[in-house]
Amino acid sequence: MKKDKIRLPRREWVRSPATKVKTSAKVYTRKKPAKITNEEFLEKRDFRFCPICSAELVKRVVDKKNRMACHVCGFVYYQNPVPAAAVIIEKEGKILLVQRKFNPYAESWSLPSGFMEYNETPQECAKRETKEETGLDIKIKNLFDIYLATDDPRTHVVLMVYLAAIIQGSLKAGDDAKEVRFFLPSEIPADIAFTAHKRALKEYLEKNSVNLAKNLPTILPSEQPNLV
């Protein structure tokens, strides 16, 4: 005997407005990196572990100097200065400067500049960095001077400064630049990021018979020696 299915009446109900659950779409935003001082930046750059075997580096006397060395594989971290290139570009009596976007010395001004890449000549570095930071293609005219920079918290730098001329391009801040501008000598900002850049600007203006602005103080040769 076939049994009939029992059908129960469907209960209809309406949720009270008070019980309605409202959900909003989640919006994920990328947090801006917190600003850090140059001292904090330097601490973050210190090498603590061996790049060869990952053991902790310890201080040892190597070649009569205190150096960080690996007690396992013998690796020695020599803090050699890093080569970099910068350019002085003058147009209608004005000097091109770049305002830095990131540390070290964020928001301070400097010459268009940067570190050399592997298998790159200093002249190629100067052209590339200028293009990346300012949008301008340049022609290297000649070497102005070479400086030892010891106030970069990342490392000591051998800075090669070139005189250059603009070939083409539109001036636009790019890469790690916040702003790019041409300044009259009397308008050059006081907050120039690196002592070597101050020296280069000072000596360039003096060689071109331009009175140095008061906001570029005299720098003793013993502080940041020229290398040529």
Question: From the first residue on, what is the mean pLDDT of each consecutive set of 10 residues in the chain (228 residues)?
Answer: 63 56 50 52 68 94 92 91 97 96 93 96 98 98 96 91 97 92 94 95 87 46 48
Kindly state whether residues 191 and 147 are assigned to the same domain: yes
User: In the prediction, which pLDDT does 25 show?
Assistant: 52
Kindly state whether residues 120 and 161 are assigned to the same domain: yes
User: In the prediction, which pLDDT does 196 show?
Assistant: 96
Whether the full predicted model's pTM is greater than 0.85, yes or no, is no
Distance CA 81, CA 150 (A): 9
Q: What is the pLDDT of residues 62-113, one digit of tens each?
A: 999 999 999 999 999 988 899 999 999 999 999 999 999 999 999 999 999 9
User: In the prediction, which pLDDT does 215 show?
Assistant: 47
Residue 57 falls within a domain, yes or no?
yes
179 flagged as catalytic: yes
Kindly state whether residues 192 and 95 are assigned to the same domain: yes
Structural domain span for residue 55: 38-77
Cβ atoms of 79 and 86 closer than 8 Å: no
Task: Tell me which of 179, 187, 206, 223 is the catalytic residue.
Answer: 179
The two tokens of residue 127 are 């052209």
Q: How many domains does the chain have?
A: 2
Distances in Å between the alpha carbon of 151 and those of 39, 157, 196? 11, 9, 9
Classified as helix, coil or strand, 204 is helix
